Structure 1
Amino acid sequence: MSREQVGDLAELPIALRPDAPGLFLALAPMDGVTDGSYREVLTAMFGGRSGISVCVSEFVRVLRQPVTEAVFLRHCPELARGGSTRAGVPVFVQLLGSDPKWMAEAGARAAALGAPGVDLNFGCPAKTVNNSDGGATLLKQPCRVEQVTRAVRAAVPASVPVTVKVRVGWDDAAPMVDIAMAAEQGGATWLTIHGRTRTQLYKPPVDWKAIGRAREAVSMPVVANGDLFSLDALRECGQVSGCSAFMIGRGAMGRPELFVQARGCFERASLSRADMQQLLLRYVAQLLADGAGAHATLGRLKQWLRMGGLLRADMAQWFDAIKRLQTLAEAKATLLASQ
């Protein structure tokens, strides 16, 4: 895709913070999905002018022991390159845990390794995570969100943002304001809110109004997340929540062009079938170049197609065609043969 197709992003600044001039559009962390290879491919789109402000890594699980450098590099290989993708997009390291001491130590270690920001995951709805006192389970006690945030903020240099990601509550959105205030009192630089409770998982409806109540209750920036699948959804979320900064997750699987589209730099309704096909093949090549085995690469390809198929008919068709295939070579051949 040529620069002429994209337009000049310099006219529409990419905000690196939600309170900076321009439009802040972050790529959401999704465990098992948004690995370093995926981030590399998405941020390289349109000649490196992807429209993505910031990426956040898959979560680093913090237990009652130090996190090794090898673990950090596995989850965030960009740390070996100054904390950014090759296209220059910063990648925050996300931590998931509940012990203030060990979370603080991990935050300090991430910053020392060059993380441009540290994100704290208090929203993961996975049962295995919640049963081990991590992720969204802390939403039941907002004081614990404050305690962990405060400990990490104290351990990380002031120049490095410490951000927090939450859901609107555990089983209802009533405590949303308390959760937001706890994150702010703990010293969070900004707060990202997924507009669902933990018990909803990813079922509808998304509650952008609850995000708006939190935004009104705090002075720090609030980033809205959840069901941002189109320009219309971004506009409606902004109107309902009052937010002007957004994080896109599942929407990027089927509409990776949404970031530049929101900046007025992509006039077509969506990537063409051929463009999407080439993007998927670049992802396969990137995974292999990054050391993934053929079987793991096939699994990641199927996963992207499955999720993207919720938004694009061609991706749903490709998923149906390869979901039972056993080899990567067969899957690639099937994709290449599809016109």
Structure 2
Amino acid sequence: MDGVTDGSYRECLTALFGGRSGISLCVSEFVRVTRQPVVERVFLRHCPELARGGKTRAGVPVFVQLLGGEPHWMARAAETAVALGAPGIDLNFGCPAKTVNSSDGGATLLKDPCRVEAVTRAVRAAVPAELPVTVKIRVGWEDPSPVVEIARAAEAGGASWLTIHGRTRRQLYKPPVDYEAIGRAQAAVSMAVVANGDLFGVPSLFEAAQRSGCTAFMIGRGAMGRPELFARARGTQRAALDPRPFEALLDVYADTLLASGANERNTLGRLKQWLRMAAMLRADMKLAFEQCKRLQTLDEARAKLREILLRDPSEPLELAG
């Protein structure tokens, strides 16, 4: 997720539970590819793990995600990423942002499956055979009827596996998630298909599996409120993350951002962003976001988080607003 799942976030989540986070693979924020070469510093900014073998410190591989519509330039960008140590390349044909789509990137390619195939084929040819080239799509632009054609185009281009978000671009993030459409694509191709969309808890993982037939899942927004979800899905953790360790996680995240070179203003913005997304799933995070969203300094926000999340659990939790 662009502007959310940065290197500091990946570092903190994969380090959870002593490195037994349950996360098997991460994908970087997208690297925008236009009709010119992408310089090395851009890759290192989006994927700082390239400086240490393409993995987080907990040893989780991080694929470099590319976003663009020109096969030649996407292939050149993939070559550079691989030369820098990327363990895999992920192609973003799913981003619904208007600014991205209007500049020939993301979900706009879903309108022409031949373009999905052409970009995938060019990148696959540029990347060593032993390294995966994966593709991320939505079920369609306006409706899910083309999902099988799009999936087959990605497979024809040589994708190693396909991740499908179960909404159209037109929906953005509005309900419902169409797991059955993911299932139709899954049944139509021989490569693995990864389900994505509103995976907010173990029950939703079971529902997605039952309705789509998929056995692999990509979790995005759900990890903001339930970072323990990966470990719970694997059975290594049974309970939700308590407020105290969640506060410690957010504290480490802020420190990690600052250590990476982020200034206090940007760190505060990222912290509020995490709280805003976590507020969808946790009452304590909803309270924390409401109390922190107008604060002007990082120190104020961190103090307020400690006040809210480290409070006496016997005290009632009152939601603001």
The TM-score with structure 1 as length reference comes to 0.91
Give the distance between the partners of 2:67 and 2:228, measured in 1 at CA. Answer: 29
- The count of residues paired between Structure 1 and Structure 2 equals 309
Which residue of the partner structure matches residue 190 of structure 1?
161
Shift of 1:333: 1.1
Alignment of 1:150 onto 2:121: yes
Give the distance between the partners of 2:15 and 2:301, measured in 1 at CA. Answer: 23
Which residue of the partner structure matches residue 134 of structure 1?
105
Alignment of 1:31 onto 2:12: no
Gaps of 5+ in 1: 1-29
Which residue of the partner structure matches residue 295 of structure 1?
265
Give the distance between the partners of 1:252 and 1:333, measured in 2 at CA. Answer: 23
- Where do 1:14-53 residues align within 5 Å? 30-53=1-24
Which residue of the partner structure matches residue 27 of structure 1?
none
Give the distance between the partners of 1:232 and 1:335, measured in 2 at CA. Answer: 29
Which residue of the partner structure matches residue 50 of structure 2?
79
Structure 1 stretches of at least 4 aligned residues deviating more than 4 Å after TM superposition? none
Give the distance between the partners of 1:157 and 1:108, measured in 2 at CA. Answer: 9
Shift of 1:337: 2.0
2:241 to 255, 271, 288: 271
- SS state at 1:149 partner: helix
Shift of 1:271: 0.6
Per-residue CA shift, 1:166-192, capped at 9, x if unaligned?
Answer: 000001000000000000000000000
Which residue of the partner structure matches residue 58 of structure 1?
29
Which residue of the partner structure matches residue 280 of structure 1?
250
- SS state at 2:163 partner: strand
Give the distance between the partners of 2:200 and 2:307, measured in 1 at CA. Answer: 28
Q: Which amino acid aligns with 1:78?
A: E
Higher relative contact order (CA 8 A, sep 6+): 1
Shift of 1:297: 0.2
Which residue of the partner structure matches residue 70 of structure 1?
41
Give the distance between the partners of 2:280 and 2:140, measured in 1 at CA. Answer: 26
Q: Which amino acid aligns with 1:155?
A: A
Give the distance between the partners of 1:122 and 1:277, measured in 2 at CA. Answer: 35
Gaps of 5+ in 2: 312-321
Which residue of the partner structure matches residue 324 of structure 1?
294
Which residue of the partner structure matches residue 222 of structure 2?
251
- SS state at 2:11 partner: helix
- SS state at 2:268 partner: helix
Which residue of the partner structure matches residue 285 of structure 2?
315
Alignment of 1:205 onto 2:180: no
Shift of 1:259: 0.4
Q: Which amino acid aligns with 1:80?
A: A
State percent identity of aligned pairs.
72
Alignment of 1:110 onto 2:75: no
Give the distance between the partners of 1:45 and 1:264, measured in 2 at CA. Answer: 15
Alignment of 1:306 onto 2:281: no
Give the distance between the partners of 1:310 and 1:285, measured in 2 at CA. Answer: 24
- SS state at 1:167 partner: strand
Q: Which amino acid aligns with 1:52?
A: I
Shift of 1:240: 0.4
Give the distance between the partners of 1:202 and 1:146, measured in 2 at CA. Answer: 25
The TM-score with structure 2 as length reference comes to 0.96
Q: Which amino acid aligns with 1:127?
A: K
